Amino acid sequence: MVYSTLCCAIVWFRFIGFFSFIKLLLVIKPIEGEKGLIDSLVESLGEYRVVLITAVLFFFYVNIITMVGFAISTTLFVLSIVWLSRLLSPIWVLNTLIAVALIILIFRVGVNIWIPDVVLYEKLFSEQTLWFMNKYF
C-alpha cells in the first residue's frame, strides 16, 4: 500500500515537473507574440498586490512582536488585514479586538507560548507590572 502510494507520488511529481519545465522554457524564451519573463512578472504583480502587501505586513508583524508586544502587534496586524479586506465598519474593529483577546487567551494563557521580554514594556513598567505585561500581553 505504501509502495503504491509512493510510486503514484513519484509519477505525479514527474508529470508536473515535465510540464513545469516546458512552461519555464516558454517563459524564458517565449514563442513569437507571447510575453517574455519580465513582461509576465510585471503583469502578475498587479494581480498579486494584496498577497504581497499581506506578506510585507506579516514580516513587520513578526519583527515588531519583541518591540511593542504580542497584543499590540497582533491587533495592528489583524486591523491591517481587515482594512486591506475593505471591512471598514466598526463591527469589524470590535470583531478584531475580540479575536485578538481570544488569541491571547489561547496562545499566551492556554498554551503558554513564551515570547522574549518586550522592549517597550521594559521602558514603561517595572517589577510586578512588567512581569504581568510580559506574561499576558
Note whether 75 and 97 are within 8 A (CB).
yes
Query: What pLDDT digit, counting tens, does each position of 31-47 carry?
Result: 677 666 667 777 777 77
Residues 15 and 74 placed together within one structural domain of the fold: no
Residues 80 and 19 placed together within one structural domain of the fold: no
* Res 2: pLDDT: 54
* Res 1: pLDDT: 56
- Residue 21: domain span: 2-41
* Max avg pLDDT among 4-8, 55-59, 103-107, 119-123: 55-59
| Distance between start and end Cα atoms, the chain | 49
Structurally, how many domains does the chain consist of? 2
Residues 17 and 62 placed together within one structural domain of the fold: no
Residues 37 and 92 placed together within one structural domain of the fold: no
Residues 82 and 118 placed together within one structural domain of the fold: yes
Note whether 69 and 116 are within 8 A (CB).
no
Residues 82 and 129 placed together within one structural domain of the fold: yes
- Pairs from 97-102 (Cβ < 8 Å, separation ≥ 24): 100/71, 100/74, 100/75
Residues 55 and 37 placed together within one structural domain of the fold: no
Query: Does the predicted TM-score (pTM) go above 0.75?
Result: no
